[in-house]
């Protein structure tokens, strides 16, 4: 055991930075919703919020995160329901299908951005940024393909 003194005598425990990390991990594992038998954790909601903010190219303030949490949680629940429905009907979307859709969207966005009019040395960087943006939507793309198959 490690002993730390902090004002009012010694206490037994972990260094404060380690304790903070453990507390943060416990918070990430905290259940915020249940859909069927599947639990949605605070960590999943935080990750989903970060992805949605990235897609909107926004940095959310703590107040914006707090006020958008119920809406985003509902979206996340809908995604879980969608995946459960697809599994129940033995519907799957392969990685190659997702990658083909990503390639298609990158081509469409590159055409819309008229990257062919840019200098040859600028094209790879612009196409890379377009691909990064589209790949950030990978889960939404997969869910869109599942939705198409469910119809």
Specify the pLDDT at position 15.
80
Q: Judging by DSSP bridges, how do beta strands 38-41 and 3-5 pair with one another?
A: unpaired
Element (H, E) at 54: helix 42-55
Return d(Cα 60, Cα 122) in angstroms, integer: 31
CA angle 62, 66, 71 (to 5 degrees): 135
Burial-class residue 142 by CB neighbours within 10 Å (0-12, 13-18, 19+). buried
Specify the pLDDT at position 12.
60
pLDDT in tens, 8-23: 554 567 788 887 778 7
Specify the pLDDT at position 124.
82
Reduced DSSP (H G I as helix, E B as strand, rest coil) percent helix, strand, coil of the chain, to 5? 70, 10, 25
Specify the pLDDT at position 97.
95
pLDDT in tens, 78-99: 989 988 999 999 999 999 999 9
Considering the entire predicted model, what is its pTM? 0.62
DSSP 81-93: HHHHHHHHTT---
Specify the pLDDT at position 7.
53
| Residue 86: both structure tokens together | 């697809």
Q: 13: which DSSP letter?
A: S
Q: Mean pLDDT of successive 10-residue segments in the chain (151 residues)?
A: 50 74 83 90 88 77 89 91 91 93 88 77 82 82 89 82
DSSP reduced 3-state for 34: strand
Specify the pLDDT at position 145.
92
Specify the pLDDT at position 24.
77
Specify the pLDDT at position 100.
95
């Amino acid at each position: 055991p490690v002993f730390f003194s902090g004002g009012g005598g010694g206490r037994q425990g972990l260094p404060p930075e380690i304790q903070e990390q453990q507390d943060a991990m416990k918070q990430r594992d905290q259940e915020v919703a249940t859909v069927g038998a599947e639990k949605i954790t605070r960590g999943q909601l935080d990750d989903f919020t970060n992805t949605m903010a990235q897609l909107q190219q926004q940095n959310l303030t703590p107040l914006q995160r707090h006020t958008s949490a119920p809406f985003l949680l509902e979206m996340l629940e809908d995604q879980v329901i969608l995946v459960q429905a697809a599994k129940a009907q033995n519907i799957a979307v392969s990685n190659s299908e997702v990658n083909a859709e990503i390639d298609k969207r990158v081509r469409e966005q590159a055409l819309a951005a008229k990257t062919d009019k840019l200098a040859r040395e600028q094209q790879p960087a612009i196409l890379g940024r377009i691909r990064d943006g589209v790949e950030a939507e990978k889960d939404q793309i997969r869910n869109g393909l599942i939705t198409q198959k469910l119809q």
